[in-house]
Amino acid sequence: MAAKHALFGITWEYFALAIPLTAGALFGKFLDDKETERMTLFRDRSALYGGMVKKVTVIVTITVIYPADTANILAVFPHQGLSHNLVYLPYIQELANREHNITLISNYPLEHSNINNLSIRGSIPISNNKENISRFERSSKNEIIHSIHVIRTFNYRGKTYEAMFTVDSVMALLNSPNKFDLLVTEHFNNELFMGFAFKFNIPFILLSSCNLLPWNQYAIGQPYSLATVPSTLSSLPIKMNFYSRVMNTISHTVQLFGFKLLCRPRDEAIIKRNLDIEVSLDQIILNASLIMVNTHFTMFSSKPLVPAVVEIGGIHITPIKPLPIVSCKGVARGGLVHRDAGKFSGGPVLNVAVVAKIKKKKLCAIIQYIDVATIILNPGDIFNPSPPLGDIQKFIDEAENGVIYFCMGSLLRGETFSAEKRQMFLNVFNKIPQRILWKWEGELTEKPSNVMIRKWMPQRDILAHPNVKLFISHGGLLGTTEAVYEGVSILLIPILGDQMSNAEALINKGAAEKMNYCDLNEDDIFIKVTSMLTNPKYKQKAEELSEAFRDRPMAPLETAVYWTEYVIRHKGAPHLRYAAVDV
């Protein structure tokens, strides 16, 4: 079990803290004399949240911190989508940093001495991770039909997770005498991994990479509030009229009972086949200790939450890093080249061992630190630039009229825009003075000179640049959260899943506008883009939203770790359980 801080019961690592009283007094006097000086009282990631203070009074206290007992945590995150895992990986990394022993079942292994990786990469079909945008040309706008489609998709894709049980290391774990203190797992389009909690007789925590889904709420006893809170998988406005409330109730019911009638029996059958457990999932699910949700009330409509719902919106946001500046001067001795670069490099790949190591470790930031003549990397799914990233910093810095950043996420590929819609955007970009950074995975011939395309871009760092004036996005929660954090207004083109409700929430805040993908035309795109660039209200609302989003007592990562250790300390924390769960 985790250790306790002598005053507050907070878990920490082995260390002792001493503050010299004299130095503290002198430091306090120095700050009193310099009222304009500001100081951030948070470390690394915590410094991203909370305000700056002009005047600090230093209060010295002496505390005794007991050594921490580590917990054995089983973390099961099988979803192939990168955006899902970007929410969970920082959390797992921080738990390992706190000396907890992690057994991680995932498609995205983490290098850490306290993490035992059971990689399942390659066992689940890749179709679970990519979408063709053009297939949504005629998507239905009817909420009920949309809800039925969502459940059918969830049912189909949830079946693919059974392939995980063909991985030898996973089966060895299930047949081992290993003891765990806690299970943490995603609750998205399946529930079968909660069977691990029953198998090992341990408490479990659920995590959601999006806003609360109906089955998330059911598991924890969270009231539905259908008259005031639109369903996460709907496109209903935040301020609903009577008709919208009726549609919200119907679509929510279709989603909840569709999931329980299709997905739950599927998962119970998989559990029986692979875990040798013959039990109703209801008996397991309703024992969840709590759920951590990747949202924050400042971005969405306010709603009452039971104590077992913990908001951790922004957990994936890291301190900004310098943008890439790369000069390609031809291949020199000791240089690195793209693995497919023979046609323009004029020679073979050099330093094969070095390139292999970079690919294995996915060192995306390597270009900042290696002094070679050429760096053109293509290490796979996570970092796959072509042509080289080169000079993004310069491109943005020299944009006199600002920059528009255009990205449709990691699941939706920009290159799958229909040719007609792609040309609409190119025509609009050719008419405006701003520069455009466009995440585009394929070739794009005859593009305007003010457009730079890349297969991959350091999105979080780009959005932090003061020259970025507008973000054109599909409405994925990670990108929109990053834009909110940096105070960037957003033009949304929602396609599927929770993107529609994310868009409606930000429109309600005044920081965004949206366009329907099916109805896109060149004139509307031009009007929306120019309006958002020239009307100061969008920027003002985005900055107000950013201030509110950042202002919280504890950083999201700290919040997630605190509540995880809380559940461990209190042996599942059954006192968080809402009575409605038992009704």
Instruction: Give, for all 583 residues of the chain, the pLDDT tens digit.
Output: 444 333 333 333 333 333 333 344 333 444 344 333 333 333 344 456 654 433 444 444 444 443 447 899 999 998 877 888 889 999 999 999 999 999 999 988 899 999 999 988 877 765 444 566 666 655 556 788 888 888 888 887 777 888 888 899 999 999 888 899 999 999 988 888 899 999 999 999 999 999 999 998 999 889 888 999 998 888 899 999 999 999 999 999 999 999 999 889 899 999 888 888 888 888 899 999 999 999 999 999 889 999 999 999 999 998 877 777 654 434 333 444 443 333 333 333 345 455 555 555 545 444 444 444 334 443 333 333 344 456 888 899 999 999 999 998 877 776 777 888 889 999 999 999 999 999 988 778 788 999 998 888 889 999 999 999 999 999 999 999 999 999 999 999 998 888 999 999 999 999 999 999 888 999 999 999 999 999 999 999 999 999 999 999 999 999 999 999 999 999 999 999 898 888 7
Query: CA 252, CA 250: separation in Å to the nearest integer?
Result: 5
What was the pLDDT predicted at 482? 96
Q: Helix 556-569 crosses helix 82-97 at what angle (to 10 degrees)?
A: 60
Amino acid at the residue 456: W
Beta carbons within 8 Å of 164's beta carbon, 6+ residues apart? 78, 105, 120, 123, 124, 170
Residue 454 to residues 171, 387, 406, 434, Cα–Cα distance (Å): 40, 7, 11, 17
Residue matched to tokens 């290391």: 169
Query: CA 472, CA 412: separation in Å to the nearest integer?
Result: 14
479-482-484-485 Cα dihedral, nearest 10 degrees? 170
What was the pLDDT predicted at 425? 93
What is the Cα 189 distance to its own chain's centre? 16
Q: Which two tokens stand for residue 284?
A: 């397991």
The dihedral built from the CA positions of residue 362, 209, 40 and 458, taken in this order, carries a sign that is positive
Task: Report if pTM > 0.85.
Answer: no
Give 2's strand partners.
none
What was the pLDDT predicted at 430? 95
The dihedral built from the CA positions of residue 296, 297, 300 and 303, taken in this order, carries a sign that is positive
Residue whose C-alpha is closest to residue 384's, from 339, 342, 346: 339
Q: Give the chain's length.
A: 583
What was the pLDDT predicted at 502? 93
**Residue 560 is inside which H or E element, if any?**
helix 556-569
Residue whose C-alpha is closest to residue 475's, from 502, 452, 508: 502
Count CB atoms within 10 A of the CB of residue 8.
7
Measured distance between the N- and C-terminal CA atoms of the chain, rounded to whole angstroms: 32
Query: CA 39, CA 53: separation in Å to the nearest integer?
Result: 6
Strand pairing category for 101-106 and 204-208: unpaired
Query: CA 213, CA 189: separation in Å to the nearest integer?
Result: 10
What was the pLDDT predicted at 197? 93
> Structural domains in the chain?
72-316+555-576 (3.40.50), 389-550 (3.40.50.2000)
**Residue 89 is inside which H or E element, if any?**
helix 82-97
**Residue 361 is inside which H or E element, if any?**
helix 352-361
